[in-house]
Structure 1
Amino acid sequence: MPLTEFTALLALATALSFTPGPNTTLSTALAANRGLGPAMRFVLAVPVGWAALLLLCAGGVGAAVVAAPMLRLAIKALGIGYLVWLAWKLSQTSQLAEADSSRMRVGFWQGVLLQFVNIKAWLLALTIVAGWIAGRPDSLQRLAVVLPVMLAFAFASNFLYASTGALLRHWLARGARLLWFNRTMALVLVLTAVWMVGT
C-alpha cells in the first residue's frame, strides 16, 4: 500500500475512532460507574466485533446490506432501540452501588454484537473496504495491513475513553455528580441514536 494511502487511512482512523460515538460513550460510562477492570470486557469487545464486521464487509456482506434497504433499516432500528434502552438504563443510575448491580452490565458479547447494529461502525467498515480494499489486485495484502491498524485504533480509543471515565470515578461518587454524568452520557447515546435515524 502506498504511503499516501496509508497516511489517509491513519487520518480517517484517527478522526472516526476518537470522536464520540456509542462505543466510546459506553467505555467512558462503564469505567466511571464500575471501574476500569469491569469496563475492559467492553473495551476489548469493540475491536473484536469491529474486526468481524470489517471482515464481513470485505467478504461482500456489506454490499448486500447496502443493496437491501429492509435489512439496512432493520439494523438501524435494532441499533437505535438498543442505544435508547442503554441510555434509559444509564440515566437511572445515580450511585456506584447501583452501577455494580445488573443495571450497568454490558459484557464482552454484548459489546461484540453492538458493532453489528452500530451505524457508525458499518459506515467506517464500508468506507475502508470501498476506499482501500475492494477491487484491488492486492486486496488480501491490503486487508492484512488495514485490519491490525483498525484493531489498534479501536482498542486505543476505547481504552483512552475508559481510562478517563475511571479517573473520574471517585470524583463522581460525591453527591449527585454521578447521576448528572450518567444523564449526560445517556444524552450522548440518544443524540447518536437520533443521528442514526438520519443516516
Structure 2
Amino acid sequence: MPPETLIALISLAAGTLFTPGPNNAMLAASGATFGFRRTLPHMLGVAVGFPAMVLIVGLALGGLFQTSLALQESLRWGGAALLMWIAWKIATSGGVSAGGGPARPMSFPAAAAFQWINPKAWVMAVAATSQFVTGPGPALAAGIVALTFLGGGLMSSATWVMAGQTIARILTSSGRRRIFNLTMAALIVLSVAQLVWH
C-alpha cells in the first residue's frame, strides 16, 4: 500500500473510531459504571471485533453487501432498532453505584458480535473496504485495513472507557448519574438518526 494511501487510511480510521457513536457511548457508560478493569472485555471485544468484521467484509462480503439493497435495509433498520433499545436501557439505568444499572459489563463475545448488527460498523467497514481493498492483492490490503483499525480501535476504546471512568468521579449524585446516562443515550440516538436518515 503506497504511503499516501496508508496516511488516508489512518486518517479515516482516526476520524471514524474516535468520534461519538454507539460503541463509544456504550464504552463510556460502562467505564463510568464498572471501571476500566471490568470493562476490559467489552473494550477488547469492540477493538478486535470490528477489525475482524472489516477483514471478513473485505475478503468476502463487501460486494454482496454493496449490491443487495434488501440486506442493507434489513441491517440498517434492525440495527437501528437494537441501538434504540440499548439507548433506552442506558437512559433508564441507575448508573454508577446505583441499583438500577446493568448487573455486569458486556462480555468480549457479545461486544465482538455486536459489531455485526451495528449500522455504524457496517457503514465504516463497507466504506473502508470499498476505498482501500482494491486492485491486486486484496487479501493483503484487507489485512492492512484490519490492522489499522485494530490499532486505532484499541486506542479509541481505551480512551472512551477512561473518559467514562474519569466522569464517574463527578457522578456522585443520582441527578448527575441521570444526566450522564441521558447524555450517553442521546449520543446513541443521534448516531442512529444520522446513519438511518443519511
Matched with 1:127 is 127
The letter of the residue matching 2:159 is L
Looking at structure 2, the residues matched to 143 and 93 of structure 1 have their Cα atoms a distance apart, in angstroms, of 39
How many pairs are equivalent? 197
SS of the residue corresponding to residue 35 of structure 1 reads: helix
| Alpha-carbon displacement from aligned partner over 1:43-95 (angstroms, at most 9, x marks no partner) | 10112221221122112312212222222111112211111111111111234
Is 1:35 the counterpart of 2:54? The answer is: no
How far the C-alpha of 1:106 sits from its partner, in A, is 2.5
**Normalising by structure 2, what TM-score?**
0.91
Partners of 1:107 and 1:115 lie apart in 2 by 13
| Gaps in structure 1 of 5+ consecutive residues | none
User: What is the CA distance between 1:146 and its match in structure 2?
Assistant: 2.2
Q: Deviations over 1:158-198 (max 9, x none)?
A: 11011010112121132410111001111111112212221
Instruction: Tell me the distance in 1 between the aligned counterparts of 2:102 and 2:9.
Output: 40
CA distance in 1, matches of 2:9, 2:100: 37
Rounded to whole Å, the distance in 2 between the matches of 1:110 and 1:74 is 20
Q: Any unmatched runs of 5+ in structure 2? A: none
SS at match of 2:120: helix
What is aligned with 1:25? 25
CA distance in 1: counterparts of 2:140 and 2:21, whole angstroms: 29
2:182 corresponding residue in structure 1: 183
Match of 1:56 in 2: 56
Give the letter aligned to residue 98 of structure 2: A
Percentage of identical aligned residues: 26
Q: In angstroms, what is the RMSD of aligned CA positions?
A: 1.7
Change (3 A) 1:13 1:101: closer
Question: For residues 99 and 41 of structure 1, what CA distance do their matches in structure 2 show?
Answer: 22
Residue type of the alignment partner of 2:26: L
Task: Determine the structure 2 residue equivalent to 1:141.
Answer: 140
Q: Counterpart of 1:97 in 2: which secondary structure?
A: coil
Distance 1:9 1:118, change over 3 A: same
In 2, the alpha carbon distance for the partners of 1:119 and 1:100 equals: 25
* 1:92 lines up with 2:99 in the alignment: no
Would the aligned equivalents of 1:34 and 1:100 in 2 still touch at CA under 8 Å? no
What are the within-5 Å matches in structure 2 for residues 96-111 of structure 1? 96-98=97-99, 101-102=102-103, 105-111=105-111
Cα 1:137–1:49, aligned 2, differ >3 Å: closer, same or farther?
same
Distance 2:57 2:114 in 1: 16
Matched, 1:150 2:149: yes
Whether the 8 Å contact between 2:25 and 2:184 is mirrored in structure 1 is yes
